[in-house]
Amino acid sequence: MYEPTLIAPSILSADFLNLEAGVRMVEEGGCDWLHVDVMDGHFVPNLTIGPPHVRALKQVARTPLDVHLMIANPDEQLDWYLDAGADLVTVHIETLADPVRTVSRIHEAGARAAIALNPPTPIERVLEYVDQLDMVLVMSVNPGFSGQSFIPSVIGKITALREHMDRIGHRCRVQVDGGINRMTAPLVAEEGADVLVSGNAVFKADDPAFEISMLRRIADEAHERGLG
Ligand code: DX5
Ligand code: ZN
């Protein structure tokens, strides 16, 4: 079944002195979700925002908050983000002691759940949980910073993930995050990725609205090519 590509601009690339203006800009530009990058300076070598920002963003956002937790101890801090209004929570497989339990907690709170994997992490680590997930996030950079270059070797992971989903008859969204732009979007969309995070390509564009619609169109075309 074909699902239109969703575009989730990462507010990490917005102007932090005026996040509301950044939110308005990409929402008026037609984005589907707002991607919120939470980094703890421990799981990743950078520190960004936390629950108060998520709560504040929730006050002004009209699109779902897609909260990407790049933190070492999600089981301890999960409730902070659920309470703050996350609509979808992504946790990293590298940080989970009991993925089934963490995913159930997210679902019990009424949010959607995703598991992310870093570029060096093999896809086999997540396959047994796929049937319980709303989305898998395949990282296409080592998490920590926006503006990094896309790592092409992750493309095969998207292919393998889609093949696995076809085998088990459970399809969930596949998100790709890191270095997504007009050049790289078709490479991942053709393999079946259908949620694209984009930081710099959207926020640093001369016309972010145009960039969002271009990315969506390029990805939709590639996605259909991949199915054909
Ligand atoms: C990387 C973050 C990404 C990043 C995307 O650690 O998870 O969401 O900000 O930014 P770009 O699209 O500029 O790579
Ligand atoms: Zn992210």
Residue 228 pLDDT? 79
Give, as residue ranges, everything with CB less than 5 Å from ion ligand 2: 37, 68, 177
State yes or no: is 177 an active-site residue: yes
State yes or no: is 66 an active-site residue: no
Rounded CA separation 133/3 (Å):
16
DSSP state letters, the chain = ---PPEEEEBGGGS-GGGHHHHHHHHHHTT-S-EEEEEEBSSSSS-B---HHHHHHHHHH-SS-EEEEEE-S-HHHHHHHHHHHT-SEEEEEGGG-S-HHHHHHHHHHTT-EEEEEE-TTS-THHHHTTGGG-SEEEEESS-TT-SSPPP-GGGHHHHHHHHHHHHHHT---EEEEESS-STTTHHHHHTTT--EEEESHHHHTSSSHHHHHHHHHHHHHHHHHHHH-
Residue 222 pLDDT? 97
Q: Which of 40, 66, 177, 220 is catalytic?
A: 177
Q: What is the pLDDT of residues 139-193, one digit of tens each?
A: 999 999 999 999 999 999 999 999 999 999 999 999 999 999 999 999 999 999 9
Ligand 1 pocket member 226 (CB < 6 A): no
**Other Cβ atoms within 10 Å of 165 Cβ, number:** 18
Helical packing angle, 19-28 and 208-227, nearest 10°: 50
Q: Distance, CA 157 to ligand 2 centroid (Å)?
A: 17
Q: Distance, CA 58 to ligand 1 centroid (Å)?
A: 20
Q: How far is CA 138 from the centre of its chain?
A: 8
pLDDT in tens, the chain (228 residues): 578 999 999 999 999 999 999 999 999 999 999 999 999 999 999 999 999 999 999 999 999 999 999 999 999 999 999 999 999 999 999 999 999 999 999 999 999 999 999 999 999 999 999 999 999 999 999 999 999 999 999 999 999 999 999 999 999 999 999 999 999 999 999 999 999 999 999 999 999 999 999 999 999 999 999 987
